[in-house]
Amino acid sequence: MYSPKVLEHLDNPRNVGTMEDATSRGEATNPVCGDLLHLYLKIADGKITASSFQAQACPPCIAAASILTEMIHGVTIDEALLLKAIDVTQALESLPRNKEHCSVLAIDALKAALKSL
């Protein structure tokens, strides 16, 4: 079963939608299950000042993207580059083993967005 934190982000995902004035955009996909995540970042003075996402993915991937947008708000690019999938999983309080790829997808989208700077 899902943790209370996962359920909270499933019921009320944060920062959903495109960001037309994004500084950077990243995309990640899981070819096995077909999950697709678009991440949008606004960066100023070396810090992430805003982020949003769009997902065509399973509910735990939406929760992972949602919590990631909260985790990266106000962090520097260097700090964001240090984030790992386990950090997202821990922020969600846990994920079932067969859904841990959702945290990987979120981090892959973040890395893609930061790479395009």
pLDDT value for 99: 95
Sketch out the chain's domains with CATH numbers: 4-115 (3.90.1010.10)
Each as own residue / partner, the long-range contacts of residues 53-56 (CB below 8 Å, 24 or more positions apart, any chain) are: 53/15, 53/16, 53/109, 54/16, 54/17, 54/18
pLDDT of residue 59: 95
pLDDT tens string, the chain, 117 residues long: the values are 899 999 999 999 999 999 999 999 999 999 999 999 999 999 999 999 999 999 999 999 999 999 999 999 999 999 999 999 999 999 999 999 999 999 999 999 999 999 988
Annotation marks residue 33 as catalytic: yes
Give backbone dihedrals phi and psi of 15, rounded to 5 degrees, phi first. Answer: 55, 45
Q: Which one of the listed residues 6, 102, 104, 106 is annotated catalytic?
A: 102
Question: With contact defined as beta carbons under 8 Å apart, do 66 and 16 qualify?
Answer: yes
pTM: 0.97
Of 24, 3, 16, give the one whose Cα is nearest residue 92: 3
Q: Which pLDDT does position 1 carry in this prediction?
A: 86
Residue 71 has which token pair? 């985790």
- Residue of 7, 33, 36, 58 with catalytic role: 33
The pLDDT value recorded for residue 93 is 97
61 assigned to active site: no
